[in-house]
Structure 1
Amino acid sequence: MVYHIYLYQKNTVEYLQEIFDKMDHLTRISMISNSMMKVSIHSEIIEDNLDLEMIHASMTTDFETDIHMLYLYDNVHDLIEESMVIEHLPHLKNKVYDISDFLIYLSHFHEGKMTMKRKLVELLGQDYINTIIMLASTNMNNSIAAKRLYLHRNSLNYRIDKIYQLTGVDIKTFKGLRAFISILES
């Protein structure tokens, strides 16, 4: 799996390129604009030794600047287009965002919310959408949700895992479930 890290810094991000250049030959760096860059990293590098919160904290203190950072999984591009990232990343606060944070942020904008809702239904299908809604309505109680969906618990767990595979959002966590519910509610 490939992770994509988007970095935005108000003036320029060119000096940040040096930080990621030294990581590995599997790392790709693309300058999107003078103030935004995209770093694509293979998962085996990230799982072993990459702490994005620490890197962000180091960059903001060492360079005395605000840096907005968003990281997404490769499979998320079916859900979130790069143009949405480019449009909204400069408006995020100075911190590290993952897909759940970004979906919650997008839910505050009617156009972004409607686009995301349509894409979510297309990507997952109505059965998986109903699973998300049922988990939320049962306060994340898998036993009750499975019963109300007329599913075996293992089937529900399969659906939850499949949603994670397709979107990169973990609905076993409150933040992940909240991200989807904020997009799905009218």
Structure 2
Amino acid sequence: MQDLIEFFEKETNKKINIFKYNNEKISSNQNLVTFNNTTYIVEFLKNNILTHVNGYCYLFNQQNLDFDSLKDILNNLYEDIQIYKHNNYVLLISDNILDINCTTPIIIESETYSKTHIIYLDKITSIDELDFKSNLVNELINIIIKDNISKFITLNDLIIYRLAHITSNDKQLSSLIKFDTIKNMDENLLTTGINFIENGLNISKTSNVLFLHRNTLTYRLEKIKEQLNLDLKNFKDAFIFYLSVKSFFNITNNNL
């Protein structure tokens, strides 16, 4: 697909979008082309604006974005993908879910020397849906970058970041959270609790990820329970802790 896009862009000197034809009505800036027994719509982008999307979407954020370099890297890593500039991001669209995970930003950073965050937007079938999700990313991207927990963000992560953002900005809701206690806690306790939750409340897995002895991890979890009266082995307590600490970090980062 990418070879086909590059061929048409080279021949026409215009940015294009290509997607499968499903007997829909085509507009004046679209043409039909058959390739490998499949009919596609070739859409000439007006002012490089994407007007159609149908596939699994990933946004790539870099502080010093070099679009061409990142595009070359992604084309080397994955086949049959479409790549566009979308606002301040690089948008990758694929017909299939790609093997992109928390290790992918590390690979890209080793090539570009630029801090990279990847936000997986799941399958998107309309421009309105793409705009909604990318606008949500725009709203939260500074929080995501400052959080420094993961560089691969899923929709579930976006929901949590949004909830934390709402909580930290709602005075009544914030008053129910023990922010004063959290503020005076050892940050190692807080990050240990977050990691314990993100690793499925699993002692062994968390110990391995944090390179902690099981007894040290258990001690820290007991200290959290002692100071906040929250047992992180209990789902509800773990949820309240996670949302509270994420909201606290959001407030702290906004004050930096």
Normalization by structure 2: what TM-score?
A: 0.37
Higher Rg: 2
The structure with more helix, counted as a fraction of residues: 1
Normalization by structure 1: what TM-score?
A: 0.48
